[in-house]
């Protein structure tokens, strides 16, 4: 029997890949984004943005570099997660139908969300509770500090998914596939890229006048509602791109365009972020986050399509466990960070050490958990 090749003819030519076949380079990109999530939370552990279950007050300027990493990550990585998720939903609904698909999503997204809130969040919060004086009994503290943590992504994705499934149910029938046997024209792809940036930039600039950056929505536990229009548009863009297989057909050179526009956005709109006028800062930040969110996402999509077309045992293992890693990583990161708290070192050194230790630890724990049949069926 011939094993799965690391590079096939179809993988080398993404346009020729049959619709519905496994897109290995997107699996690899998902793994990379999951590692970025870990890096993001390692960064807030030792940086100047204390929005995590465990934080250490920084005492050296290297923490500012971690803050920059967090800001750059925030500009695109969750939006790209929503785009990738949306890209695979239409075909799944085609196969299962809106009703069956919705029930499946309620299980595969809803149960991990509940599992984190009920089982894992108390563990991630335990150290903060034990080391903070004058707190109420733990059950009361648990309810007062209610927060889905990073699984807010599952919460929002579930809402987006059910809305789209409802739309498909009302529309009825299965949309006909488009002709995807040829590459997408460069100017058409460029127009779509710029159009998405413009629409998103306008919406974010207006939205942030009412929901400024740094806003937190309690109850639903959304830590970045200032980015909500980006998330919704990236999800919608993924859904629209799926039928035409834009990711496989898009010219690779568009990645350089996205990267160039991202750099330009920082140079042009960066000074607006420092404005003393909140309205100007919010508008400049909204436009910058739109261009960065779309531009960096396209650059990464085209990069991974080019350099990671096939697969192999390590990448299959990493991809199979990436979703579980996303759900369980707060407990692992906090446990390792608490064990390291006696280490005296610059913030960026502790960040690097925590990340190096956490990545294999998270995948190990995830793989062990997925040996449990009930867990494996869901995650």
Per-residue confidence in pLDDT tens, the chain, 379 aa: 333 333 333 343 444 444 446 789 999 999 999 999 999 999 999 999 988 999 999 999 999 999 999 999 999 999 999 999 999 999 999 999 999 999 999 999 999 999 999 999 999 998 888 888 888 888 888 888 788 999 999 999 999 999 999 999 998 877 776 656 677 788 999 999 999 999 999 999 999 999 998 888 887 888 899 999 999 999 999 999 998 888 988 999 999 999 999 999 999 998 888 888 899 999 999 999 999 999 999 999 999 999 998 889 999 999 999 999 999 999 999 999 999 999 999 999 999 999 999 999 999 999 999 999 999 889 8
Determine the pLDDT at residue 10. Answer: 38
Q: Which of 107, 248, 143 is nearest to 189 (CA)?
A: 248
User: From CA 235, how far away is CA 202, in angstroms rounded?
Assistant: 17
**Domain segments of the chain as ranges:** 181-308
Q: How many Cβ atoms are within 10 Å of 236's Cβ, its own excluded?
A: 17
Q: Which of 73, 158, 172 is nearest to 113 (CA)?
A: 158
In this prediction, residue 180 carries a pLDDT of 65
Read off φ and ψ for residue 367, nearest 5 degrees: -65, -35
pLDDT value at residue 159: 96
- pLDDT of 209: 94
Burial of 215 (0-12, 13-18, 19+ CB in 10 A): middle
Report the pLDDT value the prediction gives residue 15, as an integer from 0 to 100: 41
| Nearest Cα residue to 148 out of 127, 181, 118 | 118
Total-model pTM = 0.91
Q: Distances from the Cα of 366 to the Cαs of 35, 48, 319, 326, in angstroms?
A: 14, 29, 11, 9
User: Which residues in 137-159 are b (16+ Cβ under 10 Å) and which e?
Assistant: eeeeebeeeebbbbbbbbbbbbe
Which residues does residue 217 pair with via DSSP β-bridges, in sequence order? Answer: 222
Q: Which pLDDT score is estimated for 133? A: 86
SS3 content of the chain, % helix, strand, coil (to 5): 75, 0, 25
Structure tokens at 336: 């390792």
pLDDT, one tens digit per residue, over 84-115 is 999 999 999 999 999 999 999 999 999 999 99
């Amino acid at each position: 029997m011939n094993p799965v090749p690391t590079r096939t003819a179809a993988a080398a030519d993404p346009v020729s890949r049959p619709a519905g076949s496994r897109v290995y380079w997107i699996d690899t990109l998902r793994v990379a984004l999951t590692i970025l999530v870990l890096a993001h939370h390692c960064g807030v552990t030792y940086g100047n943005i204390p929005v995590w279950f465990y934080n250490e007050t920084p005492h050296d300027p290297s923490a500012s570099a971690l803050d920059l990493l967090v800001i750059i990550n925030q500009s695109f990585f969750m939006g790209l997660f929503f785009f990738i998720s949306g890209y695979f939903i239409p075909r799944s609904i085609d196969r299962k139908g809106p009703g069956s698909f919705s029930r499946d999503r309620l299980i595969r997204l809803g149960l991990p969300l509940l599992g984190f809130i009920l089982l894992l969040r108390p563990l991630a919060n335990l150290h903060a509770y034990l080391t903070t004086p004058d707190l109420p009994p733990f059950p009361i503290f648990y309810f007062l500090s209610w927060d889905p943590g990073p699984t807010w992504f599952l919460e929002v994705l579930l809402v987006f998914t059910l809305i789209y499934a409802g739309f498909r149910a009302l529309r009825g029938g299965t949309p006909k596939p488009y002709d995807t046997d040829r590459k997408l024209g460069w100017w058409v792809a460029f127009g779509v890229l710029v159009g998405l940036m413009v629409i998103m930039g306008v919406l974010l600039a207006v939205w942030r006048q009412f929901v400024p950056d740094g806003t937190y929505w309690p109850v639903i536990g959304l830590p970045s509602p200032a980015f909500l229009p980006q998330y919704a548009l990236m999800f919608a863009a993924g859904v629209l791109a799926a039928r035409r297989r834009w990711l496989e057909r898009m010219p690779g050179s568009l990645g350089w365009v996205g990267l160039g526009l991202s750099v330009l956005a920082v140079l042009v709109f960066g000074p607006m972020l420092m404005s003393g006028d909140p309205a100007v800062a919010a508008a400049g930040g909204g436009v910058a986050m739109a261009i960065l969110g779309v531009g960096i996402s396209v650059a990464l999509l085209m990069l991974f399509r080019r350099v990671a077309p096939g697969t192999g045992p390590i990448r299959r293992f990493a991809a199979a466990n990436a979703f579980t890693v996303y759900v369980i990583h707060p407990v692992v990161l906090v446990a390792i960070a608490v064990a390291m708290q006696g280490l005296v070192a610059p913030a960026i050194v502790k960040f690097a050490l925590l990340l190096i230790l956490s990545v294999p630890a998270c995948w190990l724990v995830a793989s062990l958990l997925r040996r449990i049949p009930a867990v494996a069926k869901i995650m």
